[in-house]
């Protein structure tokens, strides 16, 4: 009995005999106490639940009692006990008028209910009522519930009200913050909930005077920008300006300084947001960003006083470094960060080493030269043995990114050395990266085969299917690899090797074994014995590949047919239905009286078609689950310059061929089937999954393009009044209404034009979040450069201005448009066309009659001539010679009097300036004032010019003048 007790484990025994140890006794007593306490607790809980249930059944409970009993249910639920009643009572508490009762009701709803709970629809109206309430505390309770519980149905029903709270001028700052974060939570779960027309209004809140609101809205905008960059591109200028205000102007509320660092959280978000867009071409915006980045770099040189300040500075600094690398235009800053990163990766602090390696990986992905990084190659290789696995993983990423033809063999060699002792957590990723580098930089076929097989032999179970299948694909597609690969794989199979090598051997020997059959030690029987010897220790899928190899051997090596038939007979009785069917099919095929069908079925495999590299797809999948989209790919500059590979950050799949890939053979009629070792898909239908990973079909999701509100498709009513006026004038009013007046002044010299816009607030209240967005449809031929931005707040009767430079690179057709939005209670927005038209870049010319006719004949007719006949398009309008001459002169034609034999005709000459060159233009306008008709003829030295000049003149002349 004592012996049984000791062995049974009530008490653990000491080494000296049957005396129970103190630890075993204490543990046993503790277990008894816990069991007893649990039993007593359960009895108490059941008694309390029965009491609460009875109270709810009896009814007539006042608000306080309901709150008390729901609180008890919540406590029981939090302790881990199942509560299957009282949910409806909790839901009813939401409608209570007292805050304490309502609070408990919302708390219960967030704990008891989930987004698909059947009672959830009962609370939607109550939540909406609290969202519409003027009590901010009730607003916050409702927002918490939506954020924590809200499913798709609740989100769709209440998102409009959440958005209204966010944008309402009456909402307090803390309500706006919660509304922004609630929308962010809903968007992450159901992106369709945030509507496209909200974009401008949400962006405008980035200018909010409350730093907390700006921070919350920036978090929301960051998520939205990643999926809809075009729709939220207005956030770029907002981010650049806000960053400059915080970093340079030190414009930050006192409560948002963290150890003397002004609001590092929003700094990091703004710096990251700027990385989702290409570098700006506008001088003013570039200067804003450059000034902020330089100040961050300078601040980082100051010695922090404590750990917290150091962490905050580093968080901002490293995000700033990432932005500098992304911009790739600030050479002075690039030199600074290259030097600093070398110090960071050698730092004693683990976090700094990690961030330094990550930033250097980004630098390797963008930099044109890897020389500054190669200086630190020994330190980077040493990071593979860092005590922190995150640092080791980041060091691996950096080595992968900095690899090029000059150091590839050294880096691959180091990675193979480290692979033997690497953590299991990163071995699979290491194998993928070694395989990709080996393929990418292989100049010697033997080196590629040796490294690939050695890698698979060393890594064993950490080799994914994509790796060995890619080796097969490359060997099959490159004839010069086939003999060497077959010889080497046979030597591996003859020894004690991993099963993955057996799969490769089964395929390669079945395809190319006949190429080495005359080599010593590689005879047919030796190949068969080597593969057959692995059959017993392999899995069913590997055996299936080997059986397919054996049917190939029947066709290639008739001398060993008896041994092969015996193998088929043995497996024809297998309990595995897959193996049994294969063996029976192969046995029947090999036993046919003639070899005609066998030769057809076992014909040589054609090369695989060039398709996506499964290795790259698998590698980039590892980064696709991060909360923020990557703006760069882990890899060198080539990988980031290739849009196909860059898309792997979001979508897997990339067409990538081996460096020395051979072209398709002339005798191959079709692409390699997705089947097993050389057997065709019709006869051996059961083998289609042997190399399934080799088929990488890519499905790309079509993204609906958001409307561009700054484009000409959304011009505001009455935009054409000021536009038509300023087509012929250098300055004047472009637009005016009861709230705003927009004036314009222009100056053109050669191919350069300067436009200054003046915005005057005519109202008696300030305009907030004043924003302008330029849209240039002629981006290839008309270059824009914003030299200044308007103030974000315009006081009553106040004015602000904006300067934009326009350079005519070549002949352009469409004028730019500008979107102006501002907060005046609600969001007000205008879209206007700017009178930046081709004729603005013309200078009137003076010619004699002889010179005019000489050049007119030299230019000749079509295609360098455009002619049209038209009349007045507006009823009640008229025309006259004086008005017509004034319009022609306004279009910058030099009017040549006395040249045309008909004195009523108007003849003109001008020179068009573009960056590509100058073009001479000639005009003949024939007016008929009796019929109110015109005939216009324009000739130019470039055939693209006349149709454009004729069109803009026709549009203006057809309007006539007011009677």
The whole-number pLDDT of residue 620 equals 67
Asked whether the predicted pLDDT for residue 288 surpasses 90, the reply is yes
Rounded to an integer, the average pLDDT of 599-625 is: 69
Rounded to an integer, the average pLDDT of 941-956 is: 94
The whole-number pLDDT of residue 697 equals 38
Q: For residue 287, name the pLDDT band (cuts at 50, 70, 90).
A: very high
Q: For residue 210, name the pLDDT band (cuts at 50, 70, 90).
A: very high
The whole-number pLDDT of residue 710 equals 87
Residue that the structure tokens 């010679």 belong to:
881
Using a 10 angstrom Cβ sphere, with 0-12 exposed, 13-18 middle and 19 or more buried, the burial of residue 1 is exposed
Say if residue 881 is in the same domain as residue 921.
yes
DSSP string, 915-961: TTEEEEEEEEEEEETTTTEEEEEEEESSTTHHHHHHHHHHHHHTT-E
What share of the chain has pLDDT > 70, as a percent?
89
**Closest CA relative to residue 651, chosen from 705, 610, 702, 706:** 702
The whole-number pLDDT of residue 55 equals 83
Q: What is the pLDDT of residues 853-876, one digit of tens each?
A: 999 999 988 899 999 999 998 888
Pair of tokens at residue 662: 């051979």
Q: Indicate the average pLDDT of the chain.
A: 84
Q: What is the pLDDT of residues 321-340, one digit of tens each?
A: 999 989 876 677 777 787 88
Say if residue 727 is in the same domain as residue 819.
yes
Is the residue at 938 inside a domain? yes
The whole-number pLDDT of residue 53 equals 85
Is the residue at 105 inside a domain? yes
Say if residue 101 is in the same domain as residue 137.
no
**Closest CA relative to residue 70, chosen from 102, 117, 38:** 102
**Count of C-beta atoms within a 10 Å radius of residue 147:** 20
Asked whether the predicted pLDDT for residue 5 surpasses 60, the reply is no
Q: What is the pLDDT of residues 393-404, one digit of tens each?
A: 999 999 998 988
CATH code of residue 900? 3.30.310.10
Residue that the structure tokens 């004032």 belong to:
929
Asked whether the predicted pLDDT for residue 186 surpasses 90, the reply is yes
The C-alpha atoms of residue 203 and residue 239 are separated, in whole angstroms, by: 10
Rounded to an integer, the average pLDDT of 947-954 is: 94
Tell whether pTM > 0.85: no
Is the residue at 942 inside a domain? yes
Last residue of a domain, one of 836, 861, 894: 836
DSSP string, 771-840: EEEEE-TTTTTEEEEE-----S-B-TT-EEEEEEEEEE-S---S--EEEEEEEESEEEEEEEE----GGG
Asked whether the predicted pLDDT for residue 159 surpasses 80, the reply is yes
Asked whether the predicted pLDDT for residue 892 surpasses 90, the reply is yes
Is the residue at 52 inside a domain? yes
**Closest CA relative to residue 434, chosen from 443, 418, 425:** 418
**Three-class DSSP category at 344:** helix
Q: What is the pLDDT of residues 674-726, one digit of tens each?
A: 333 333 333 333 333 444 444 433 343 444 566 788 888 899 999 999 999 99
Last residue of a domain, one of 786, 813, 836: 836
Q: For residue 627, name the pLDDT band (cuts at 50, 70, 90).
A: low
Say if residue 891 is in the same domain as residue 954.
yes
* More confident of the two residues 336 and 276: 276
For 726, residues 6+ apart whose C-beta sits below 8 A from its C-beta are: 732, 734, 744, 746, 835
Say if residue 739 is in the same domain as residue 824.
yes
CATH code of residue 778? 2.60.40.1230
Say if residue 74 is in the same domain as residue 177.
no
Asked whether the predicted pLDDT for residue 765 surpasses 70, the reply is yes
Q: For residue 171, name the pLDDT band (cuts at 50, 70, 90).
A: very high
For 568, residues 6+ apart whose C-beta sits below 8 A from its C-beta are: 547, 550, 583, 584, 586, 587, 590
The whole-number pLDDT of residue 467 equals 84
What share of the chain has pLDDT > 90, as a percent?
43
Q: What is the pLDDT of residues 17-38, one digit of tens each?
A: 444 566 666 676 777 777 777 7
Q: For residue 908, name the pLDDT band (cuts at 50, 70, 90).
A: very high
Whether the Cβ atoms of residue 726 and residue 890 lie closer than 8 Å to each other: no
Q: For residue 208, name the pLDDT band (cuts at 50, 70, 90).
A: very high
DSSP class of 1: -
The whole-number pLDDT of residue 665 equals 32
- The CA-to-CA distance between both ends of the chain, in Å, stands at 124
Domain extent, residue 898, equals 839-958
The whole-number pLDDT of residue 672 equals 35
Is the residue at 709 inside a domain? no
Which residues contribute to the annotated binding site? 23-24, 55, 64, 68-72
Say if residue 773 is in the same domain as residue 794.
yes
4-13, 346-355, 753-762: lowest mean pLDDT where?
4-13
- In Å, how far are 132, 781, 922 from 941, measured between CA atoms? 67, 18, 9
Rounded to an integer, the average pLDDT of 588-604 is: 79
The whole-number pLDDT of residue 678 equals 38
Q: What is the pLDDT of residues 411-429, one digit of tens each?
A: 999 999 888 888 888 888 8
Is the residue at 242 inside a domain? no
Is the residue at 53 inside a domain? yes
DSSP class of 275: G
Phi-psi region of 873 (alpha: psi -120 to 50; beta: other; left: phi over 0): alpha
Say if residue 883 is in the same domain as residue 912.
yes
Using a 10 angstrom Cβ sphere, with 0-12 exposed, 13-18 middle and 19 or more buried, the burial of residue 694 is buried
Q: For residue 54, name the pLDDT band (cuts at 50, 70, 90).
A: confident
The whole-number pLDDT of residue 305 equals 79
**Closest CA relative to residue 395, chosen from 410, 407, 409, 384:** 384
Asked whether the predicted pLDDT for residue 14 surpasses 50, the reply is no
Element (H, E) at 585: helix 577-590
Asked whether the predicted pLDDT for residue 760 surpasses 80, the reply is yes
What pairs with residue 843 in β-bridges? 911
55-59, 128-132, 182-186, 772-776: lowest mean pLDDT where?
55-59
Say if residue 928 is in the same domain as residue 844.
yes
Say if residue 151 is in the same domain as residue 99.
no
For 391, residues 6+ apart whose C-beta sits below 8 A from its C-beta are: 350, 353, 354, 357, 383
Last residue of a domain, one of 836, 866, 894: 836
The whole-number pLDDT of residue 316 equals 94
Asked whether the predicted pLDDT for residue 10 surpasses 60, the reply is no
The whole-number pLDDT of residue 621 equals 67
Is the residue at 56 inside a domain? yes
The C-alpha atoms of residue 208 and residue 175 are separated, in whole angstroms, by: 13
Say if residue 913 is in the same domain as residue 853.
yes
Length of the chain: 963
Pair of tokens at residue 862: 């079509």
Asked whether the predicted pLDDT for residue 652 surpasses 90, the reply is no
The whole-number pLDDT of residue 610 equals 66
Regarding beta strands 799-808 and 782-786, do their DSSP bridges make them parallel or antiparallel, or are they unpaired? antiparallel
Say if residue 922 is in the same domain as residue 819.
no
The whole-number pLDDT of residue 463 equals 83
> Domains in the chain: how many in total?
4
């Amino acid at each position: 009995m004592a012996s049984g007790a000791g062995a049974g484990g009530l008490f653990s025994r000491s080494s000296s005999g049957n005396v129970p140890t103190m630890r075993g006794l204490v543990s046993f007593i503790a277990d008894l106490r816990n069991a007893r306490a649990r039993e007593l607790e359960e009895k108490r809980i059941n008694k309390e639940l029965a009491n609460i249930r009875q109270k709810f059944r009896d009814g007539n409970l006042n608000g306080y009692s309901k709150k008390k009993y729901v609180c008890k249910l919540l406590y029981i639920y939090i302790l881990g006990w199942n509560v299957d009643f009282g949910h409806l009572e909790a839901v009813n508490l939401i409608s209570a008028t007292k805050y304490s009762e309502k609070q408990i009701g919302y708390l219960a709803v967030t704990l008891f209910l989930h987004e698909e709970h059947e009672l959830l629809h009962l609370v939607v109206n109550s939540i909406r009522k609290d969202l519409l309430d003027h009590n901010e505390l009730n607003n916050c309770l409702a927002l918490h519930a939506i954020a924590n519980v809200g499913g798709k149905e609740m989100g769709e029903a209440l998102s409009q009200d959440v958005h209204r709270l966010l944008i309402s001028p009456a909402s307090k700052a803390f309500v706006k913050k919660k509304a922004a974060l609630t929308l962010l939570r809903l968007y992450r779960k159901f992106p369709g909930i945030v509507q496209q027309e909200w974009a401008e209004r949400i962006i405008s809140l980035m200018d909010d005077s409350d730093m907390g609101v700006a921070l919350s809205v920036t978090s929301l905008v960051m998520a939205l920008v990643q999926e809809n960059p075009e729709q939220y591109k207005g956030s770029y200028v907002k981010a650049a300006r806000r960053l400059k205000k915080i970093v340079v102007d030190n414009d930050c509320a006192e409560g948002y300084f963290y150890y003397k660092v002004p609001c590092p959280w929003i700094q990091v978000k703004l710096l990251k947001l700027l990385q989702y867009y290409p570098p700006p071409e506008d001088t003013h915006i570039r200067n804003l960003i450059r000034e902020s980045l330089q100040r961050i770099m300078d601040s980082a040189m100051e010695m922090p006083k404590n750990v917290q300040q150091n962490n905050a500075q580093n968080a901002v600094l490293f995000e700033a470094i990432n932005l500098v690398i992304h911009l790739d235009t600030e050479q002075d800053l690039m030199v600074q960060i290259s030097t600093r990163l070398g110090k960071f990766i050698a730092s004693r602090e683990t976090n700094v080493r990690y961030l330094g390696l990550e930033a250097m990986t980004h630098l390797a992905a963008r930099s044109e030269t890897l020389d500054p990084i190669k200086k630190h190659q020994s330190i980077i290789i040493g990071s593979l043995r860092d005590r922190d696995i995150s640092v080791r993983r980041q060091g691996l990423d950096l080595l992968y990114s900095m690899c090029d033809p000059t150091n590839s063999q050294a880096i691959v060699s180091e990675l193979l050395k480290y692979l033997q002792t690497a953590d299991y957590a990163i071995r699979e990723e290491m194998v993928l990266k070694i395989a990709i580098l080996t393929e990418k930089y292989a100049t010697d076929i033997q080196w590629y085969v040796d490294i690939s097989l050695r890698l698979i032999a060393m890594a064993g179970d950490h080799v994914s299917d994509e790796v060995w299948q890619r080796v097969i694909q490359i060997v099959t597609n490159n004839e010069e690899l086939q003999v060497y690969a077959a010889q080497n794989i046979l030597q591996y199979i003859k020894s004690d090797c991993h099963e993955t090598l057996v799969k490769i051997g089964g395929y390669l020997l079945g395809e190319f074994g006949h190429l080495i059959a005359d080599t010593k030690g590689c005879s047919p029987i030796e190949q068969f014995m080597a593969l057959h010897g692995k059959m017993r220790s392999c899995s069913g899928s590997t055996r299936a590949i080997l059986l397919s190899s054996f049917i190939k051997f029947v066709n290639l090596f008739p001398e060993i047919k008896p041994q092969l038939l015996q193998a088929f007979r043995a497996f024809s009785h297998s309990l595995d239905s897959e193996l049994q069917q294969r063996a029976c099919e192969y046995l029947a095929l090999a036993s046919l009286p003639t070899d005609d069908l066998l030769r057809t079925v076992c014909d040589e495999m054609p090369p695989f078609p060039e398709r996506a590299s499964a290795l790259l797809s698998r590698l980039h999948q590892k980064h696709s689950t991060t909360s923020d989209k990557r703006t760069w790919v882990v890899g060198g500059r080539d990988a980031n310059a290739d849009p196909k590979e860059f898309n792997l950050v979001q979508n897997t799949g990339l067409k990538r061929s081996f460096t020395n890939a051979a072209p398709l053979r002339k005798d191959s009629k079709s692409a390699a089937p997705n089947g097993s070792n050389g057997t065709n898909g019709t006869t051996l239908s059961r083998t289609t999954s042997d190399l399934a990973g080799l088929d990488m079909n890519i499905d790309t999701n079509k993204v609906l393009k958001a409307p561009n509100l700054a484009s000409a498709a959304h011009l505001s009513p009455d935009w054409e009044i000021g536009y038509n006026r300023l087509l012929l004038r250098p300055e004047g009013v472009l637009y005016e209404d009861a709230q705003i007046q927009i004036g314009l002044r222009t100056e053109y010299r050669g191919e350069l034009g300067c436009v200054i816009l003046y915005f005057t607030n005519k109202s008696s209240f300030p305009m907030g979040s004043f924003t302008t967005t330029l849209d240039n449809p002629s981006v290839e031929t008309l270059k824009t450069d914003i030299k200044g931005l308007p103030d974000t707040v315009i006081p009553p009767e106040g004015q602000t201005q904006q300067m934009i430079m326009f350079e005519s690179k070549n002949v352009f057709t469409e004028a730019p448009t500008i979107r102006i939005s501002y907060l005046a209670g609600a969001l007000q927005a205008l879209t206007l066309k700017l009178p930046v038209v081709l004729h603005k870049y013309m200078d009137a010319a003076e010619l004699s009659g002889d010179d005019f006719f000489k050049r007119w004949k030299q230019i000749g007719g079509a295609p360098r001539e455009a002619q049209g006949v038209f009349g007045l398009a507006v009823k009640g309008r008229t025309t006259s010679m004086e008005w017509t001459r004034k319009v022609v002169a306004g279009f910058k034609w030099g009017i040549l009097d006395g040249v045309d034999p008909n004195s009523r005709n108007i003849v003109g000459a001008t020179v068009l300036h573009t960056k590509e060159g100058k073009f001479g233009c000639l005009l003949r306008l024939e007016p008929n004032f009796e019929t109110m008709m015109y005939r216009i003829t324009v000739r130019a030295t470039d055939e693209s010019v006349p149709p454009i000049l004729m069109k803009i003149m026709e549009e203006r002349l057809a309007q006539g003048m007011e009677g």
